[in-house]
Amino acid sequence: MKDLPIDVKVHHKPLWNDDKTKAYSFVDGSVNLTCEVKAEPEANFTWTKDNGVIYPSDSAQIFNDNNTSILQLKVNDSRMFGDYLCIAQNKLGTLERVIILQQGEKPAVPTAKVTVEGVDRLELSIDAKNHPEMPIVGYRVQYKEAGEDWSQAQSTYFKKASIYVLENLKNDTPYVLRAASKNAAGLSDYSVEVTKRTEKIISSASTSASFSISSCVALLLFLLVSASLL
What domains can be seen in the chain, in order of their start residue?
12-103 (2.60.40.10), 111-197 (2.60.40.10)
Helices (H), 63-191: none
Q: Which of 4-8, 120-124, 190-194 has the lowest mean pLDDT?
A: 4-8
Give tens-digit pLDDT for 6-39.
777 789 999 999 888 999 999 999 999 999 999 9
Q: How far is C-alpha 151 from the geometric centre of its chain's CA atoms?
A: 15
* Residue 41, preceding peptide bond in cis (omega within 30° of 0): yes
pLDDT at 216 over 70: no
* Dist CA 161 CA 169 (whole Å): 21
Q: What is the pLDDT of residue 84?
A: 98
Predicted confidence band at 174 (pLDDT cuts at 50, 70, 90)? very high
Average pLDDT for 98-112: 96
- Please check whether residue 206 is in contact with residue 124, taking contact to mean a CB–CB distance below 8 angstroms: no
- Please check whether residue 92 is in contact with residue 47, taking contact to mean a CB–CB distance below 8 angstroms: no
Q: Which of 173-182, 207-216, 218-227 has the lowest mean pLDDT?
A: 207-216
pLDDT at 170 over 70: yes
Q: What is the pLDDT of residue 123?
A: 97
* Dist CA 215 CA 229 (whole Å): 21
Average pLDDT for 141-165: 95
